[in-house]
Structure 1
Amino acid sequence: MDALQHINNTVYFRYFEDVRVVMLEELKVFEYVKRHNIGPVVASTRCDFRAPLVYPDNITTVSWVEDIQEKRYTMKYEIHSHNQQRRVAVGEALVVYCNFSDGKSCAIPEETANALQKYLLPENAE
């Protein structure tokens, strides 16, 4: 936090990580990683800051999945400020599946790819 009580920009990525981990827990990905040594890694991530988030505030962070492909998918994020009653940041992460034994990308397991479908945003949604 700075002198104006703005939340540091690195914290936004932690908020994104928090909702990503919740989704991975719901998908039981961590259990799969332990059994098969295959799992997701964030290959790239970004955030567009629309307005400063000022402490104290409550936020809602939402996420969804787009563009599921053989070895990767994109996660999208929005952070909403309760005090400002608006979206203060949008972001995304490119998530690639990796075989941790050899460090190479690999196909998303079929059961995970199928389960990811429920996180797709409907085409007519905003």
Structure 2
Amino acid sequence: MELFSEQAVYDACPVVVELPVVWGEMDSMQHVNNTVYIRWMETARFEYFEKVELRSAAAQSGRTGILKSVDCNFRLPLTWPDKVLAGGKVIELGKDYFVIQHVVFSCKHQKVAAHGRAVVVGFDYGKQKKSDFPPGLVEKIQKLEGMT
């Protein structure tokens, strides 16, 4: 995802979270530790889950989404102070999985600092196995993404 402005992030992603870069997130190399970028993506992903009401669907059905895999491509080392926009957009959707593309955009540098993908699969905690998503979740994702 190649984005060149803060507005482009908001235009490209239905869910965007603004997060401060905190001094304590820097490591001995004097830049934000790589694990923090993945945490920012996680924060955007959970905000996405809130937008599509995944927790309430899970409470009713016993089925939810669980992270299968995540990757992150680092493009720019960040330092304090800065603010990042962490965005998420579903780019592939099935009845039992979706792929969400993430972006971390530096407001100070006006550049993408990292991008990645997460694969989320349906999971039934009672049966401890993969399942379809709870009823209505796919439709809520389609609506949020403008796929319908």
What TM-score, normalized by structure 1, do the two folds share?
A: 0.89
CA RMSD after TM alignment: 1.6
In 2, Cα distance between equivalents of 1:2 and 1:110:
43
Q: Which among 88, 93, 96 is matched to residue 63 of structure 1? A: 88
Report whether the alignment pairs 1:7 with 2:26.
Answer: no
Which stretch shows the higher mean deviation, 54-63 or 110-119?
110-119
Task: Give the structure 2 partner of residue 72 of structure 1.
Answer: 97
C-alpha distance in 1, partners of 2:145/2:104? Answer: 18
Q: For the structure 1 residues 118 and 52, does the alpha-carbon distance in structure 2 shift closer, same or farther, using more than 3 Å as the test?
A: farther
Query: CA offsets per residue over residues 33-60 of structure 1, 9 Å max, x none?
Result: 1222110000000100011111111111
Question: Aligned residue pairs: how many?
Answer: 122
* Percentage of matched positions with identical amino acids: 27
Give the deviation of 1:119 after TM superposition: 4.1
- 1:81 is matched with 106
**Counterpart in the other structure of 1:90:** 115
Which of 92, 102, 106 is the matching residue for 2:131?
106
Give the C-alpha shift of residue 70 in structure 1.
2.1
TM-score by length of 2: 0.76
The superposition leaves residues 7-37 of structure 1 with CA deviations (integer Å, 9 ceiling, x where unpaired) of: 1111111111111111111211111212221
Contact 2:66 2:121 in 1 (8 A): yes
